[in-house]
Amino acid sequence: MGSIPERLKRILALFDTVVDREERVMLLLDYAERYRPVPSSIASPPYPEDRKIPYCESDAYVWMMQNPGGTITPHFAVENPSGVSAKALAAILTEGLQGATPEEAASVSEDIVERIFRQNISMGKGMGLTAMVQRIATEAKAMSGKATTYG
């Protein structure tokens, strides 16, 4: 299995340095503003239920696209306009995994949710955010298997 992609490592390292709660909130808001919904060329509402992230209070959906060179690009839709945490995580995962291999994306552990959000989220929200990371890893593992079968 691969290692965590360098882009995601840099983002996590940034969050590791921010100990002040207010600064962390501002950083998360910055990432939430970077969120861009899935392009209409990939999907448009109403989104299929098989793309929906379980437990996510913000009605988030994910698509993992494989690029011609074998790298991946994740795309998210967050349907709840108030889903700031889900939008922030979607932006972090999109930026951090852009151009990663499926093996690298599969190696991302759900513990990044705690590294990013600390203890500043409810149990329900934490379950949804963790499910976002788990879904990415699951889809990446499936792509990785396809890549070795056909590549």
Q: What is the pLDDT along the chain (151 residues), one digit of tens a residue?
A: 457 899 999 999 999 999 999 999 999 999 999 999 999 999 999 999 999 999 999 999 999 999 999 999 999 999 999 999 999 999 999 999 999 999 999 999 999 999 999 877 888 899 999 999 999 999 999 998 754 333 3
Q: Give residues with Cβ within 8 angstroms of 14, minimum separation 6.
A: 27
Is 6-150 in CATH node 3.65.10.10?
no
Note the pTM of the prediction, 2 decimals: 0.93
* Residue 104 identity: E
Please give the pLDDT value at position 2: 53
